[in-house]
Structure 1
Amino acid sequence: MVLVLNRTYFSEGTQGTLEWNGTLVCYTIELPWLQNQRRVSCVPEGEYVLRQRFSPKFKWHLHLQNVPGRDLILIHPANDAKKELLGCIAPVSMHTGIGKGGSSRKAFLKLKALVNAALERNEAVKISIQSHLTTPFSDSRIK
């Protein structure tokens, strides 16, 4: 299974759509691209293996493996990238502003169920992160 995250970059944050087999699973929010700096930047574009991970803070969540120059890049619920993320990816049900979204827990549960079903079938699960635009930033706003 390969999930595809198409990003749009803004100076205040990064918006995305996460799809599987051409179907929208959820939207995403992240921090802006700041040259892959730890804890303040979204992760570089590329393909990463997803694994389940447990922590007391987030309970069961998803972990991107082998992100260059980074560790503990997670997919977990959050509705405001600047206030709640340290380089991770948050699924959201809707974009409410740049780097902001709504109903993150609902979107996360949907994504986690999809990924867990594939893992239970012993399928490898990957996320392919790519840019929706050819330029690193856009002045347009999400509709």
Structure 2
Amino acid sequence: MVLVLHRTYFPEGTQGILEWNGTIVCYTIELPWLGNQRRISCVPEGEYVLEKRFSPKFQWHLHLKNVPGRDLILIHPANDAKKELLGCIAPVTKHSGIGKGSLSRKAFSKLKTIVYAALQRNEEVKISIQSNSPEI
């Protein structure tokens, strides 16, 4: 299973549309692209394996494995990238501004249901992050 994240970059944040089999699952928010700097930049484009992960803070969420130069890049709920993200990806129901969205927990629940069902079937789940923008 491959989820495709189509990104659009802005100086103040990154907006995305997350699709599976050509259907929109949710929208996403991230920090701006700042050269893959830890904790202040979104991660590089590419394909990453997703796995289930549990933490006391986020409960069950998703982890992007083998992100170059980074660790613990997660997909978890957040509605404001600059205030709530440290390089992670947040699903949102709709965009409400650059790097901002609404109803993130609802969007995350929908995404988690799809991904966890595939993992339960022992499918490998990947996310392919691509640009909708001209060269960054």
TM-score class, shorter-chain normalisation, is over 0.9
Amino acid at match of 1:102: S
| RMSD across aligned positions (CA) | 0.4
Q: How many pairs does the alignment contain?
A: 136
Structure 2 unpaired stretches of 5+: none
Query: 2: distance between equivalents of 1:96 and 1:77?
Result: 15
CA distance in 2, matches of 1:19, 1:134: 20
- TM superposition score normalised by structure 2: 0.99
Distance 2:71 2:17 in 1: 23
Q: Percent identity?
A: 81
Is residue 2:113 matched to residue 1:113?
yes
Whichever residue aligns with residue 2 of structure 2, its letter is V
Cα offset, 1:134, TM superposition: 1.8
- Once residues 68 and 135 of structure 1 are traced to their aligned partners in structure 2, the CA distance between those partners, rounded to angstroms, is 20
Deviation readout 1:63-82 (Å, 9 max, x if unpaired): 00000000000000000000
Greater percentage in strand = 2
3-state DSSP class of the match of 1:79? coil
Q: Who is 1:58 aligned against? A: 58
Deviations 1:21-67 (A, max 9, x none): 00000000000000000000000000000000000000000000000
**CA displacement 1:78-117 (0-9 Å, x = unmatched):** 0000000000000000000000000000000000000000
What TM-score do the two structures reach when normalised by structure 1?
A: 0.94
Stretches of 4+ moved more than 3 A in 1? none
